[in-house]
Amino acid sequence: MSKAVKADFSVSGLGGDSVLGGAGTMSNPANEGATLFFQMAPGMNIPYEYGGVKQEIQGYRDSAWIGTTLMISPIYDVVGKDAVKFLNAICINDFTKLGLNGLRHAVICNDKGQIMTDGVVIRIAEDRYRTYWLNPPIDYLLKKSGLDVSGEDKTGTEYFIQIAGEKSLEILEDAFEADLHDIKFARHRKAEMDGKTVEVIRLGMSGNLAYEIHGPMSDFDAVYRKVWASGEKFGATKLGMHAYNLFNHTEAGFPNIHLHYPFPWFESDQGLSDYLAQNPALGGMNSNRKLAGSVGDDLQSRFVTPYDVGWDFLVNFNHEFTGKPALEQIAKNPGRRVTTLEWNADDVAAVFATMLRPGQTPCDDITKQSDLSLGENSFNGYTEYRADKVLVNGRQIGISSGRIISYPYNSMISLAFIAPEYAAPGTEVTVLWGTPGTPQKEIRAIVAKYPYNQELIRNEDRDVAEIPGYRK
């Protein structure tokens, strides 16, 4: 990561501080005001902070935050008359009735029912489906499918702006100078902004009202500047990669890929392993893992199923798909359930104290704002996944991951995948803190409300009729 030292963020060519996927010399308006950048790859710098997590994350509660972290999203189109047949064969979802204004939270599993990846699929034409975050597994599966379907990698050709928070609809309507109240949760439609066509999707990761807007990268500069100008009117904040990741997902109860759990890309299908070996850049966050936390090198307990993360409602057994037999068995008696853990402050302080005693070997660092260590990962060339054992009476009942300091609630929390009989709020458990081979300490915790910010009205439940409509 590097500090921002000047206001001129223009560079020549693809990457750098230019718009991802752009061409020629461009200035990325999302970089303006950034105080810290993350180098995603050589020449590709992404806003990491705009002054710090504490003030950025508050935006979704008071007004909204506006972020572009997902501009790095893998985008992959599935095209052809067998598109639905193919998607149904690889996903737990049924795409048969997906209309042109709908979407699916798509999940691909392996034969064990473990999640291989998840993301969003929208239908953008008769036989064309655009996917986000399903690549690389989807490309490998498509190429071996034998169906009348083709795949097109569209990564970097589309901008991706998120607007999340209580005033997100008012901000968008001010920017579009149009009424967008008709867009229901998990639906999308096109809208015009100064002659530019924009796809507006009602979806987000803050836990309350949120939207995404997409369009061709060539329109990004003008669209972003207008959205941010409207955001400023309503007191919005810019959100960097640091705040977007664990702080949103843990607080809002959204277990997330590469954050709360790794993928079994190299532990499932030899063909996929070979494919990734031939395309090493695609293996990314699963090709060189560092396993931290008291769970140690137990990979299998770190992998999750749709039932572990609370997505059983997405599983549709009306069609054949990879992992169906395993999931049918898991559905009869799910072994884990996702919940929030609230950590005991005194025990956390005791762990911290081990770092301040000369001559004593300290425990793993618990002072970090979150257990996502992007800077260290990038520098050392690995991806660290932290998971700690959750115990009751000394017996392991699951794992904890995604620990954060939750600033709005002045607490330390994490998500946990634990045995259902212990998932009731108020249940007392213990988190075993410390990677094997290092000092370990037990930290008391209680099962807390899930999601942790549940006092906010969820996006799917929000009646936007209560929000004033746009008036010229």
In this prediction, residue 366 carries a pLDDT of: 97
In this prediction, residue 21 carries a pLDDT of: 36
| Token pair 């909204």: residue | 64
**Residue range 435-456: average pLDDT?**
97
Name the percent of the chain lying above pLDDT 90.
86
Token readout for 219 is 């329109």
Run of H or E including 392: strand 388-392
In this prediction, residue 4 carries a pLDDT of: 39
- How does DSSP assign 97-154, residue by residue? T--TTBEEEEEEE-TTS-EEEEEEEEEEETTEEEEES-TTHHHHHHHTS-SS-EEEE-
Q: At 151, phi and psi to the nearest 5?
A: -120, 140
Are 386 and 403 spatial neighbours (Cβ–Cβ below 8 Å)?
Answer: yes
Please work out, in degrees rounded to the nearest 5, the angle formed at the alpha carbon of residue 169 by the alpha carbons of 166 and 171.
Answer: 95
Q: Which residue has the higher pLDDT, 222 or 373?
A: 222
Run of H or E including 60: helix 59-62
In this prediction, residue 241 carries a pLDDT of: 94
In this prediction, residue 27 carries a pLDDT of: 74
In this prediction, residue 12 carries a pLDDT of: 23
**Residue range 203-225: average pLDDT?**
97
Q: Which band of pLDDT confidence, cut at 50, 70 and 90, is reported for residue 283?
A: confident
Q: Is the pLDDT of residue 3 over 60?
A: no
Nearest of 442, 415, 419 to residue 431 by alpha carbon = 442
Please work out, in degrees rounded to the nearest 5, the angle formed at the alpha carbon of residue 412 by the alpha carbons of 416 and 163.
Answer: 85
Nearest of 168, 181, 155 to residue 67 by alpha carbon = 168
Q: What is the DSSP letter of 90?
A: H
Nearest of 351, 356, 306 to residue 331 by alpha carbon = 306
In this prediction, residue 62 carries a pLDDT of: 92
Q: Which band of pLDDT confidence, cut at 50, 70 and 90, is reported for residue 424?
A: very high
pLDDT in tens, 41-65: 777 789 999 999 999 999 999 999 9
Give dist(CA 159, CA 201) in Å, integer. 13
Q: Is the pLDDT of residue 25 over 60?
A: no
pLDDT in tens, 301-322: 999 999 999 999 999 999 999 9
pLDDT in tens, 187-201: 999 999 999 999 999
How far is CA 64 from each of CA 131, 233, 387, rounded to the nearest angstrom? 26, 11, 31
pTM of structure: 0.92
In this prediction, residue 381 carries a pLDDT of: 83
Give dist(CA 317, CA 82) in Å, integer. 20
- How does DSSP assign 212-270, residue by residue? EEEEEGGGHHHHHHHHHHHHHHTT-EEE-HHIIIIIHHHHHT---BTTTB---TTSS-H
